[in-house]
A and B are shown apart, each in its own frame.
Chain A
Amino acid sequence: VTPPPNKPAATTELLLLPDGQVLAHNITPTMAALLAELNPADEPMRLRAVASEASGSFAELRNCPDEAIGCPSAE
């Protein structure tokens, strides 16, 4: 399955608020790890990052640039 050229294989949306809050939607494993690193005090995000890491072979996804499971580049 090849995603349409104008759309990335995986998407997370972020909303950056003036007060420094970051809201995230459709968080991918990579984004969870990134957000957890940006704010180690964010416990819910840390748990999501841990859940990603704990799922074993998901580590290989971290090294995949587009996280496109099932896409040719990730197979």
Chain B
Amino acid sequence: VTRVPKFSISRWVFAALVVAGAYAAYARVAGGLGGATNLNDGFPWGIWIGFDVLCGVGLATGGFTVATMAYVFNLRPYEPVVRPAVLTAFLGYLLEILAVLFDLGRPDRFWHALVMWNPRSPMFEVGWCVALSTIVLFLQFLPPVLERFGLDRSLRLARAVLVPLVVAGAVLSALHQWTLGSLYLIAPHKTHPLWYSLQLPLLFYVSAVCAGLAMTVFESCHSRKAFGIPLEVPLLARISRLLSAGLLVYAVIRIADLWHRGAWRLIRPSRPEAALFLAEMSLLLVPAALLLGPRWRRDPRWLHASSVMVILGFVAHRLNVSITAMQPMLSLRYVPKWTEVAVTLASVALGIAAFGFLVKRLPFYRHAGDLPTAR
């Protein structure tokens, strides 16, 4: 506790982001959505949905995936990254809920989504997935807290239900990604054919699994610098191998779908959409190909670089689906207002700060593990 905390971003940047975010939050409350955003009748959803919600929960998927590998597939080498990945996921979901409260026109009625049913609506299912996943993640997040405060009986209870929770979390996160992808199926007339696809639910799921794994690698690399956690290169290499396989599955679905629909013909050098598409795809394909090589996978710098590329490629895909794919199809334009960006950046900064705060005080790294290795 006496150690001077080292943040991966310097503290004054953090303070500036939080102040800007607080002002933007005030603008949202005082001036309504019109005062704080550039949203309009043609672009009812902006970066709070496109980035905070779609990308936030996608990057959180790593917590579900590595917990499943460690405790369901019984691959115990994954265990050291489970607790931090679950913490990332839990914080990611909390920040998503915060973003939704900013974005809803009537945040005071958010609970309607759970009470007033419409089973035909993907949004209804998204609401339930968010609520249930957050509860599951909260319970999975508890063991380090209970351990820290010496609540042994509660800890034993939490461990007894760990595997069912991990299974429930994995299924819920899959459904969450599936339904988030389904949201955009309703808008074929507004979404550019390079991104509109009936495979969006599946693509959202597979890409989220990849992004979650990349996020786990990324976070491990940064935790080493920030908190002095030793880097487990063999484990990260193993995760990256899985990541590479996931990316190849994604690429096959994505390319086969474009081919099948004939949409690949729209990839013409003169079009800005084509450039965005190619950038998005290369950010995912280059690491997929290179991570196949064992030599690349042993290099910590490359592990880090490839995780950054995958995260950027993933974010590019979701922003393209939710914002840029609609730009050429509509007469109206949308460029986020600075207050929108401020809320997004402040929530990312708060997430990183909360992660750092908790990791330094609770046993998320360097612990004995939550389940006995073999019985």
> Do A and B bind?
no
Q: Which residues of A are in contact with B by a Cβ distance under 8 Å?
A: none
